[in-house]
Structure 1
Amino acid sequence: MRKRVATLSLFALAACTATSQGGAPSAADPVAQHARLLTLDTHLDTPIHFDREGWRFDATHSFAADLSQVDGGRMKAGMLDGGFFVVYTEQGPLTEKGYADALAFARKRSDAIDRTVAAYPALIAPALTAADATRLNRAGKLAAFKSIENSYPLGEDVSLLGEFYRKGVRMAGPVHSGDNQFADSATGKGKWGGLSPLGKRWVAEMNRLGMVIDASHSSDATFDQLLELSRYPIILSHSSLRSANDHPRNLDQVRLRKLAAKGGAMCISTIFLSDMNMTKERAELFGAYERIATLPPAQQADLARRWQALDRREQMWNANFETVMAQILRAIEVAGIDHVCFAGDWDGGGGVVGMQDITALPKVTARLKAAGYSDADIEKFWSGNVLRILAAQKG
């Protein structure tokens, strides 16, 4: 049986439920339901906070106070047992200097993940394999996988994937918001008609190393070619359904079925369930947020205050928890429970009304239970499908 390290707030919630019903927590208690499951998230942008002055991973922060959505305290409270911490690099020019600058940044971000995880050995530990996630969960520790969002920092040298593999990276996507040297982006102009020749070499190297290919942010043509060329199942680490919102960043249902037919999975996100309300003020705040680790504490606090004030006037997404649940249930209907997973895009623009951070995860489990899914099925959604895909990479 798994060892669960519950926070005081969880005991208080369970006790409150028991008191209200005159006994032990009922089977309908979402905390009790969720506590039985191994829960992972495939896309955590939380490393953006790791070098912030005054910010600690082992503390319990709040989005209202400092704009963070994930930390050790809330992972315990929301019973998120681990996930893939992201080495994200903004898309830049396809030049020698652009590649060199991006590689230096990616190495620094990767090192920040390692340094943060190493600082809290009683709380969290590195994970490289599916077995590691299970082992750490039984030991009461959080599992820290690593992934790459945007392979742009590799420049034109796919052998650099080996360096990041040795640094613990086990998942990577070729592209982000703009077309790059490897592939066309879902939000790019379409440079290659899918993968470039270098991108096809990237696929072969990913397969050789045994790294999971992540098709989130890829154009439709790029997705099609990744699915065709990869010898092993691929994943979409944080994507939404196009039926929920007709946006190129989202996946259509025909492609979701094709993904399932080849053993892959789509991890449902909270982003692009509506058009993004990116006003001039919001864009300015996002620009500052991207640099939040360089800001002194007073400026960090001012940024959070301005962000919250804007949220009170207007929301970034016209979506809520019910919108997220509707697309989760639809995705399962289309692809089957063996091919759907979850990633909120926390700390990277995700979160909607009623689901602002990871403490909301037990509500998802409760709704899946109410829809008739068993614990075994729900655990596939939270971790089993991801771990199956990770284990299928031969390397």
Structure 2
Amino acid sequence: MALAEAPVQDNAYVAALALLDRAPMIDGHNDLPYVIRLDRNAKGDVAAYDLAKVHPEVDTDIPRMRAGKLAGQFFAAYVPPNHPKPAGFALAQIALMRDILKRHSDAFRPGLSAADVAAAKAEGRIALFMTIENGSALDNELDALDAYYDLGVRLMTLCHNGTHDWCDSATDAPKHNGLSAFGKEVIARMNKLGMVVDLAHVSPKVMHDTLDVTSAPVVWSHSNAFSLCDHPRNVPDDVLDRVAGNGGVVMATFVPDFINQAARDWHRPVKDQYGKTPEGLDYAKAEQEIERKAGPRPKATLPQYCDHLDYLAKRIGHDHIGVGSDFFGWVNPDGLEDTSVFPSLIAELIRRGWSEDNLEKLAGGNTLRVMRAVEKAAA
């Protein structure tokens, strides 16, 4: 994976740097803990991985996070669907993130509330917020939420690419017609604790069910607009039309297949009817066969990503959008290659005529507002 190309050094880029000097930039989703877990050398050892150096083979490390002027980062304790020991795996990933905080305290500050973002920015550090990506980590025990909260988890994505015991996934066969009764109890307990509910990965019916019962704003930590790209992980218009009423935020993501319809269509031969890769498929070999028949994979680009932001801003308002990269060491869009690119993103929107106020909302203001509202609802 190549490093991001040198940004265009025009007036818009200079203005973007200045804006991010005063306003916090928050990324709603990054899978670095799983990348470290899978690294063939580190194998989950934070010290062996050494985040202080640039890792050109992937997209996230401390030097490039600093270059991207991040003030807050949500890191995911991702739990693979159908994992035989989901709680244990989630705890191992939480332990990994706590080790990042311990070993790199010069770069990261524990993120436990919205106030930690401003504090981290004042210190020249990044607020590290721990999340769980896949509610199967509860092992169907509601009180497990309390334990995760006490460990520092402040957001949970209700499911991943597979439907589990209480939540239907956007990329799997439904079993519950949305949220089960227990799933609705999960939402209530998260509201009570002050843990952000994340609807990335869930089916549209779960989105509606959650919006019906939640007492606090929710987020989509890494999802785009379905109307521009019909991946099932993106948010349909009938759901988008309820976001403002909830006070929530859709954090647009960098995943190419969620941005560019051509990239989504190119990958269809290696996806099942629900849009996910079947278990056991040799993905690399399957992609080679697609390329032989259909030509090279279509790229997604920074301007195409900004088209999603423009659409969301028009549909749900500038108060309800954010950024959730979903960096996970894979193929990224041209112009959005790694964690150094956030100033380039802001610069592109400046060229499109976005106001400073709306840019500050997108960068982190809206996410902070949701966090404060979630904390207030719990209190």
- Other-structure match for 1:8: none
Report the secondary structure of 1:358's partner residue.
Answer: coil
Report the secondary structure of 1:238's partner residue.
Answer: coil
The structure 1 residue matched to 2:230, chosen from 246, 250, 255, is: 246
Report the secondary structure of 2:73's partner residue.
Answer: strand
- Other-structure match for 1:90: 80
- Other-structure match for 1:184: 168
CA RMSD of aligned residues (A): 3.2
Q: How does 1:201-212 map to 2 (within 5 A)?
A: 201-212=185-196
Distance 2:30 2:147 in 1: 21
- Other-structure match for 2:52: 58
Q: How does 1:359-378 map to 2 (within 5 A)?
A: 359-378=340-359
Question: Alpha-carbon deviations, 1:8-47, whole Å to 9, x = none?
Answer: xxxxx89x95xxxxxxx85652434443331010101011
Distance 2:207 2:52 in 1: 37
Distance 2:169 2:133 in 1: 12
Classify 1:27/1:322 alpha carbon distance in 2 versus 1 (closer, same or farther; 3 Å): closer
Distance 1:116 1:176 in 2: 24
Distance 1:267 1:311 in 2: 30
Classify 1:48/1:263 alpha carbon distance in 2 versus 1 (closer, same or farther; 3 Å): same
Give, as a single letter, the amino acid of the residue that structure 2 aligns with 1:329.
Answer: D
Report the secondary structure of 2:365's partner residue.
Answer: helix
The structural deviation recorded for 1:357 is: 1.4
- Other-structure match for 2:35: 49
Report the secondary structure of 2:172's partner residue.
Answer: coil
- Other-structure match for 2:368: 387
The structure 2 residue matched to 1:75, chosen from 40, 54, 65, is: 65
Give, as a single letter, the amino acid of the residue that structure 1 aligns with 2:166.
Answer: F
Moved more, 383-392 or 351-360: 351-360
Q: How does 1:13-162 map to 2 (within 5 A)?
A: 26=11, 29=14, 30-51=16-37, 52=39, 53=42, 54-62=48-56, 66=57, 68-92=58-82, 98=84, 101-162=85-146
Q: Identical aligned pairs, as a percentage?
A: 28
Question: TM-score with structure 1 length normalisation?
Answer: 0.81
Give, as a single letter, the amino acid of the residue that structure 1 aligns with 2:332.
Answer: G
Query: May I ask how many residue pairs the two structures share in their alignment?
Result: 352
The structural deviation recorded for 1:50 is: 3.2
Moved more, 188-197 or 254-263: 254-263
Q: Is contact 1:174–1:182 with CA below 8 Å preserved after alignment?
A: no
The structure 1 residue matched to 2:319, chosen from 330, 338, 359, is: 338
Distance 1:371 1:345 in 2: 24
Q: Is contact 1:50–1:113 with CA below 8 Å preserved after alignment?
A: no
Q: Give the gaps of 5 or more residues in structure 1.
A: 1-12, 18-24, 290-302
- Other-structure match for 1:295: none
Q: Is contact 2:303–2:348 with CA below 8 Å preserved after alignment?
A: no
Classify 1:310/1:381 alpha carbon distance in 2 versus 1 (closer, same or farther; 3 Å): farther
Report the secondary structure of 2:28's partner residue.
Answer: strand
Q: Give the gaps of 5 or more residues in structure 2.
A: 1-5, 43-47, 271-276
Q: Is contact 2:136–2:159 with CA below 8 Å preserved after alignment?
A: yes
The structural deviation recorded for 1:315 is: 5.8
Give, as a single letter, the amino acid of the residue that structure 2 aligns with 1:60.
Answer: V
The structure 1 residue matched to 2:205, chosen from 206, 209, 221, is: 221
Q: Is contact 1:75–1:81 with CA below 8 Å preserved after alignment?
A: no
Q: Is contact 1:345–1:351 with CA below 8 Å preserved after alignment?
A: no
- Other-structure match for 2:274: none
The structure 1 residue matched to 2:246, chosen from 262, 277, 282, is: 262
Classify 1:310/1:49 alpha carbon distance in 2 versus 1 (closer, same or farther; 3 Å): farther
Give, as a single letter, the amino acid of the residue that structure 1 aligns with 2:342.
Answer: L
Distance 1:113 1:148 in 2: 11
Report the secondary structure of 1:324's partner residue.
Answer: helix
Classify 1:230/1:350 alpha carbon distance in 2 versus 1 (closer, same or farther; 3 Å): farther
Classify 1:60/1:374 alpha carbon distance in 2 versus 1 (closer, same or farther; 3 Å): same
Report the secondary structure of 1:57's partner residue.
Answer: coil
Question: Alpha-carbon deviations, 1:308-346, whole Å to 9, x = none?
Answer: x99999765642222101111111111111000011211
Distance 2:130 2:116 in 1: 13
Distance 2:81 2:86 in 1: 8
The structure 1 residue matched to 2:158, chosen from 174, 177, 181, is: 174
Q: Is contact 2:34–2:77 with CA below 8 Å preserved after alignment?
A: no
Classify 1:315/1:237 alpha carbon distance in 2 versus 1 (closer, same or farther; 3 Å): farther
Question: TM-score with structure 2 length normalisation?
Answer: 0.84
Q: Is contact 2:13–2:344 with CA below 8 Å preserved after alignment?
A: no
Give, as a single letter, the amino acid of the residue that structure 1 aligns with 2:356.
Answer: D
Question: Alpha-carbon deviations, 1:70-110, whole Å to 9, x = none?
Answer: 111100112122211001101107xxxx3xx1111110011
- Other-structure match for 2:45: none
Distance 1:92 1:147 in 2: 19
Report the secondary structure of 2:235's partner residue.
Answer: coil
Distance 1:359 1:37 in 2: 16
